[in-house]
Structure 1
Amino acid sequence: MGRKYRSPPLVEALCEFRLTPDTPWDMTIPGLFYETVKHEFPVKEQRVVQEVELIQGPHGIQQQIRTKEMILLFTQDRKMLIQLGPHLLVINALRPYPAWQRFKALIEMAWKSLGQVLEIRGLQRIGLRYINKVELPSSEARLWDYFDRLDRYTA
């Protein structure tokens, strides 16, 4: 078991699955998915989000902006959520982090639920991120007083 901090810096953990474009998607999927997870994630909201993609092409870098609808499903206390949109599934854990065992169980449940309502043909990317917020007492704080120095671990 890991070390417990009195005031942990972790503000959010998330696991993101990006499905391949050949995975079939239609607007019935969010409703079908919700039916499989509503016991854990009963609170639902809709959002319209914009994505910006930079693509290196023969004429330089080109920018593509896409708008898509997402469904956000929250636990009753709003400390955990699932974001579901075209070819995207994200499971978020907000502060306080529930520990890996609980977070992993929710990731597995969401992934299995998606597989029940959608033929997943492939993954473009899987990401697991932990977002920390470290507050130092002043702008003149020396980072090495708070963090291990990297050169201690290199030969």
Structure 2
Amino acid sequence: MVTLLVIADDLSGHTPPFRNPPLVLTVLEIRYPEIAGGLTDDAVAAMKEAVRDSLPIMATQIEQQVDVAVEVPAPLQVTQRTAPRFCTRDQATALVVRHDALVLETTAYAGWVEHFRPLARQVVETLERICAPDGVLRIGLRYIDEIRVPNAGDEPEDWDGYINSQLLAAAAAELRPAGMNATAWQGRIQYQTEASYALTVRYGPQTVYAVDPEGPTRRKSVHPPGPYFLLDSDAFWTSEHEIPEFAADGILERCDRVHQAASDFFKIAVTDKLRAEVLDRSMDAPSTKDLT
């Protein structure tokens, strides 16, 4: 969900998309058993050619893996690996292909059906054809929203009416001992949505940014730093009893289901007032909050 979407038609039923979308990052991770021998130079070259039109820029990403011995004291073992990274020219969308997972992320989400799902299908079909992983272990779809309301500050009451009141309950006035003010809080909840599927959501008021504007996947528009309400939704499927084959149709069907869970939560978490005064407001028109 984190906004659960830069485009709001999938998440809120709105068409056209929000004028001021809260979604700042969307990440799809698909894990699979380690590819024997890793990615060969020929496989990387074939993948580069296959995604050239969508993700024309290729670079090498260096990653470190730290192994910790649990049973006996031992020095940390640090393994360094490289992975190809393909991105758009504006660096707002990127694909990293590791020996055991692919990660597709964007800060320029333009809808599930219209934009992100077709790109996910392209990269999954490409990996299936070139590397043929032995199966699929986990599919996770994460949405990070920074919900910013004009003039909102550090007080819990600033979010009243904009965020579902149930998500604000921890800082409600009746739960505060005399003389105490809630200055920060963060909630976390996990739902079992169906067998093998779950949704974890972190939420609460924050400051500055949830996603670094200077990160490798660049944000196309950045608000000035300040208070925001975080919705960080991670919907996922995991293989519990058997490892299904790595097949694009089956993977995309599971992606649709995790997307739906995140979308459903977002619809409940935000209010009509937030949609009208902030998300759907013309940039040239003051919000009701601006006038009070």
Per-residue deviation, 1:52 = 4.6
C-alpha distance in structure 2 between counterparts of 1:103 and 1:9, whole Å: 17
Q: Which residue of 2 aligns with 1:77?
A: 90
Superposition pairs for residues 105-116 of structure 1, below 5 Å?
105-116=118-129
TM-aligned CA distance change 1:117 to 1:59, over 3 Å: same
Alignment of 1:100 with 2:115, yes or no, is no
1:42 pairs, out of 38, 56, 62, with 56
Q: Which residue of 1 aligns with 2:21?
A: 8
Per-residue deviation, 1:148 = 0.7
Q: Which has the higher helix share?
A: 2
Alignment of 1:87 with 2:103, yes or no, is no
1:125 pairs, out of 138, 141, 145, with 138
Deviates more, 1:23-32 or 1:62-71: 62-71
- Summarize deviations over 1:44-86 as a string: whole Å, max 9, x none: 111212245678x4569x9764422122111233222111121
C-alpha distance in structure 1 between counterparts of 2:31 and 2:107, whole Å: 21
TM-score by length of 2: 0.45
- Summarize deviations over 1:97-133 as a string: whole Å, max 9, x none: 2111210000000000011111210122111111112
Letter matched to residue 53 of structure 2:
H
Q: Is the 8 A contact 1:83 1:90 kept in 2?
A: yes
- Aligned-pair identity (%): 22
Q: Which residue of 2 aligns with 1:148?
A: 164
Letter matched to residue 150 of structure 1:
Q
Per-residue deviation, 1:17 = 0.9
Q: Which has the higher strand share?
A: 1
Give unpaired runs (5+ residues) of structure 1: none
Letter matched to residue 145 of structure 1:
G
Runs of 4+ with deviation above 4 angstroms: 52-55, 57-60, 62-65
C-alpha distance in structure 2 between counterparts of 1:108 and 1:91, whole Å: 11
Q: Which residue of 2 aligns with 1:32?
A: 46
Partner-residue secondary structure (3-state), 1:133: strand
TM-aligned CA distance change 1:38 to 1:64, over 3 Å: same
C-alpha distance in structure 1 between counterparts of 2:117 and 2:68, whole Å: 32
Give unpaired runs (5+ residues) of structure 2: 1-8, 168-267, 269-292
Letter matched to residue 49 of structure 1:
E
C-alpha distance in structure 2 between counterparts of 1:147 and 1:105, whole Å: 31
CA RMSD of aligned residues (A): 2.7
Number of equivalenced pairs: 149
Per-residue deviation, 1:91 = 1.1
TM-aligned CA distance change 1:18 to 1:66, over 3 Å: farther
Larger Rg, first or second structure (1 or 2): 2
